[in-house]
């Protein structure tokens, strides 16, 4: 009887609901890997924050174990390691993995953002994030040397990983992300509001959005900023001068975000650094015109289907918004180009490239008689 090798996957972020970027990557990757005939098995591992319905969904396809731990460090370095006695290969899906493992490691490095913090954008983050940052940066430097293979999400991210962490190019496999929404027919006319995905991390550049909204406050242009974590949202509303044309909201579910993408006249994403920039593609898939930054991976992902601005230039961003929101012809042109662009990215390809990477590592084990 042939015993199939098992790949143990850190599925924590994909088992949450709602999910942000890395969570969507893990969720969609697992969904589409399930559809590929495989010569190996997969075992998913989550933590106590897992959404029960999402766990139930995946348990119908893969063995799925929810492990409890006092904090993320104990989960990553102790609980997950102890649980994986029969695992042939580990896949750390979120820039992190156990240090003390003997099995081969596959690592997804989405970006090396932390090496840019304090240089390309502000390093102002809470103390607990500083502690996490030190741990993750030092651990990642070790793990990329230990890894048999590294997945990343864009040419820009791959180049940044090579230069920042000294990784050889032949060790990196690029597995681009894709929209979670299918490209579909657009409803017209658009509603006259600007959609923004917010977060309190300085690199998301929310302060420039607020400055831009202030410049446009007398033009009756409404901004809907969604996705700010509840604690940060309350703090922001207490201490900041938010113009009346800005509506702030916390995290929204997929159904609500889907509707906002469909309705908005323009989606603004002035992030100061992205390894990929998945919301840009999601907006395009839903037929929402996009304005984004000239930096990091954003031009690579958006191609010629977006308007690009210097992300810290509020007056320029305001002009770009006016140019789109007041011109239905430009809206339609950007919508068509955006949907064509979104068609180039799909999760089936992401899963196929990942499967090829797994098989490459497993084949190297067979050659060594392991």
* Token reading at 164: 């920042």
> What residues does 193 pair with on adjacent strands?
222
Domain 6-177+346-367, classified CATH 3.40.50.2300, yes or no:
no
Helix (H/G/I), strand (E/B), else coil: 64: strand
Which string of DSSP letters, residue by residue, matches 237-256?
A: HHHS---TTEEE-----HHH
What residue has token string 């996490």? 132
Q: What is the pLDDT of residue 19?
A: 86
Domain ranges across the chain:
6-177+346-367, 191-342
Q: Provide the CA 21 distance to its chain's centre, in angstroms.
A: 2
Q: Which CATH architecture has domain 191-342?
A: 3-Layer(aba) Sandwich (3.40)
The CA distance from 30 to 58, in Å, is 8
Q: What is the pLDDT of residue 234?
A: 62
Phi, psi of 232 (to 5 degrees): -70, -35
* 104 in Cβ contact with 148 (< 8 Å): yes
Is 6-177+346-367's fold the same as 191-342's? yes
The CA distance from 204 to 277, in Å, is 11
Q: What is the pLDDT of residue 48?
A: 95
Which string of DSSP letters, residue by residue, matches 147-161?
A: -SEEEES-HHHHHHH
Which string of DSSP letters, residue by residue, matches 21-53?
A: HHHHHHHHHHHHHTTS--SSEEEEEE-TT--HH
Q: What is the pLDDT of residue 214?
A: 92
* Token reading at 147: 């890894």
Helices (H), the chain: 21-33, 52-59, 72-74, 80-83, 127-146, 155-165, 206-215, 230-239, 254-263, 278-285, 298-302, 314-325, 328-342, 347-367
* 75 in Cβ contact with 38 (< 8 Å): no
Q: What is the pLDDT of residue 251?
A: 81
Q: Which of 234, 294, 282, 231 is nearest to 257 (CA)?
A: 282
Listed as ranges, residues in the chain with pLDDT below 70 are: 1-2, 120-130, 230-240, 369-370
Q: What is the pLDDT of residue 164?
A: 95
Q: Which of 37, 39, 33, 30 is nearest to 4 (CA)?
A: 39
């Amino acid at each position: 009887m042939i015993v199939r090798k098992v790949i143990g996957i850190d599925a924590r972020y994909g088992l949450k609901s709602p999910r942000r970027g890395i969570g969507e990557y893990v969720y969609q990757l697992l969904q589409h890997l399930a559809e590929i005939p495989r010569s190996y098995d997969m075992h998913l591992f989550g933590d106590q924050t897992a959404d029960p319905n999402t766990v139930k969904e995946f348990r119908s396809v893969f063995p799925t174990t929810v492990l409890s731990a006092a904090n993320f460090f104990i989960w990553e370095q102790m609980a997950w390691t102890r649980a994986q006695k029969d695992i042939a290969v580990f896949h750390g899906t979120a820039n992190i993995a156990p240090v003390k493992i003997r099995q081969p490691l596959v690592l997804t490095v989405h970006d090396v953002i932390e090496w840019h913090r304090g240089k390309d954008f502000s390093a102002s983050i809470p103390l607990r994030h500083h502690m996490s940052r030190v741990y993750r940066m030092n651990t990642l430097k070790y793990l990329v040397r230990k890894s048999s293979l590294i997945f990343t999400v864009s040419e820009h991210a791959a180049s940044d990983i090579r230069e920042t962490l000294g990784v050889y190019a032949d060790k990196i496999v690029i597995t681009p992300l894709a929209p979670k929404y299918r490209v579909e027919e657009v409803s017209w006319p658009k509603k006259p509001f600007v959609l923004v995905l917010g977060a309190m991390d300085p690199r998301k550049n929310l302060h420039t959005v607020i400055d831009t909204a202030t410049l446009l406050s007398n033009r009756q242009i409404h901004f809907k900023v969604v996705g700010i974590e509840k604690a940060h949202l309350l703090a922001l509303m207490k201490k900041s001068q938010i113009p009346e044309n800005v509506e702030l909201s916390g995290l929204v579910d997929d159904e609500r975000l889907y509707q906002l993408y469909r309705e908005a006249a323009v989606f603004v994403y002035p992030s100061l650094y992205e390894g990929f920039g998945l919301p840009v593609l999601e907006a395009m898939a839903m037929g929402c015109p996009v304005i984004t930054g000239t930096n990091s991976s954003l031009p690579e992902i958006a191609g010629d289907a977006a308007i690009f601005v210097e992300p810290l230039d509020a007056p320029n961003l305001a002009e770009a918004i006016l140019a789109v929101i007041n011109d239905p012809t430009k809206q339609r042109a950007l919508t068509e180009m955006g949907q064509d662009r979104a068609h180039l990215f799909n999760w089936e390809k992401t899963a196929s490239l990942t499967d090829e990477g797994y098989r490459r590592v497993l084949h190297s084990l067979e050659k060594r008689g392991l």
